[in-house]
Amino acid sequence: GSPAPQVEDTGKPSPKSELAYPPKSLSSGRSGPLVTFQQPSPLTTFSYDSKRELRFDDSALRYYVDPPHGADLRYGYERWVKRPEEKGRLDGLLKAWLRVRDGFPEGFMNGGVIAWRGVMTRILTAPYEEREGWHLNVMCVNGTLYLEEHVSDAKLLEKEDLTPHHRLQSYYGYSFESFCTAGTPHAKPGWGGDVDTNVQWCSVVRTKLGNTRLVIGGEVDCVRGKLTKTNDTLVELKTSLTIRNQLDESRFEKKLLKFYFQSFLLGVPEIVVGFRSPAGKLGTIQSFQTMQIPRMVRGKPGSWDPSICLGWGERFLAFVKEAVQGDVRSAAAKEEEAPVVWRVDFKPRVGVSIIQLGPEAVEEVQAGSDRYGFLPRWYWEEQLH
């Protein structure tokens, strides 16, 4: 099978700031007891409108409808209202957490983690990631870890500057969403309206990976029928190239790893995949039960084992917690209550390293806005009492 990521152990302290030394046992693959993942419990939902304003309602919720056969996924491309790329800020999720946290005992999230679902997907699928590295910013406040994807200014420009081909490819996914959804439960099939990627409906859940509590939020595409208190009607929509041969099939099975964890983390039970041609013509539709996916790929050429990912995830979080626990700020910085921000770097086939950011890098993370590290100041102030 694929090698599990290992932790970089250069034995040299980072010139920029302190380096935390990770345990070597991180390289062990499937060994050790199976790590459990608690069934996610829904906490709240919210919507972003076309002005990207957040509202604690379900105004952006969509309902599943079967898409028209042979639909042209380029439809409406010229009218796509594209949300500008942004840094992976936690603001919306933190707003949601502030609204629900009073229902939990004091210190409930002590030792816990708050992050967008996308970040947790990246962490858990890392053992099988062979190409794309990633970077996280990490803060620890009152014993709770906050993780955000680190998107540098250069990376932001790069993401905004997609080739026309890539832009169109990513549009296919959004247009499939429009063909598969409507604003009301019993609408007739067809185009669901022009794509505006500012608009999103998000679900926030709490769960546990091993002994670590998680509060995670993520975008959910639609519901089948109606929204329930248990989130058991949520549907994730995906497009993928039609499978024509064995190689395509194993490529698709590799992709299923990401589809699986993305949905699993929020407790989304169904994934509807629209297979398409390279030119964007919709072919067959296939619905997958999220929980059945690992069994479907077992023993196949593109196979993967979710227990490796969960085991790795637990060790990853333990490693980050251990690193940030020893607060190595200088006395002067402590006096000023300067924010401590850590940077986690994942290098495919190599592993993970963590360093504490120096003042200039923290400045860059704050990006001149009213923040304490990457946390919005209103949230930071809320934490003080």
Residues lying near ligand 0WD in the complex (CB under 6 A) are found at: 83, 85-86, 88, 116-118, 121, 149, 151, 173, 197, 200, 202, 218-219, 238, 262
Q: Which of 7, 35, 237, 297 binds Ca ion (CB under 5 A)?
A: 237
Per partner kind, with CB cut-offs from 5 to 8 A, the member of Ca ion, ligand 0WD, none near residue 57 is: none
Per partner kind, with CB cut-offs from 5 to 8 A, the member of Ca ion, ligand 0WD, none near residue 263 is: none
Nearer to Ca ion by Cβ, of 129 and 221: the residue is 221
Binders of Ca ion among 174-233, rule CB under 5 A?
A: 221
Nearer to ligand 0WD by Cβ, of 198 and 307: the residue is 198
Task: Assess 354 for contact with Ca ion (CB under 5 A).
Answer: no
Per partner kind, with CB cut-offs from 5 to 8 A, the member of ligand 0WD, Ca ion, none near residue 218 is: ligand 0WD
Nearer to Ca ion by Cβ, of 264 and 312: the residue is 264
Per partner kind, with CB cut-offs from 5 to 8 A, the member of Ca ion, ligand 0WD, none near residue 121 is: ligand 0WD
Q: Which residue is nearest to Ca ion (CB)?
A: 237
Q: What is the 3-state secondary structure (H, E, C) of the chain?
A: CCCCCEECCCCCCCCCCCECCCCHHHHCCCCCCCCCECCCEEEEEEEECCCCCEECCCCCCCEECCCCCCCECCCCHHHCECCCCCCCCCHHHHHHHHHHHHHCCCCCCCCCEEEEHHHHHHHHHHHHCCCCCEEEEEEEECCEEEEEECCCHHHHHHHHCCCHHHHHHHHHHHHHHHHHEECCCCCCCCCCCCCECCCEEEEEEEEEECCEEEEEEEECCEECCCCCCCCCCEEEEEEEECCCCHHHHHHHHHHHHHHHHHHHHHCCCEEEEEEECCCCEEEEEEEEEHHHHHHHHCCCCCCCCHHHHHHHHHHHHHHHHHHHHCCCCCHHHHHHCCCCCEEEEEECCCEEEEEECCHHHHHHHHCCCCEECCEEHHHHHHHCC
CB of 237 to Ca ion, least distance (A): 5
Per partner kind, with CB cut-offs from 5 to 8 A, the member of Ca ion, ligand 0WD, none near residue 181 is: none
Nearer to ligand 0WD by Cβ, of 20 and 148: the residue is 148
Per partner kind, with CB cut-offs from 5 to 8 A, the member of ligand 0WD, Ca ion, none near residue 76 is: none
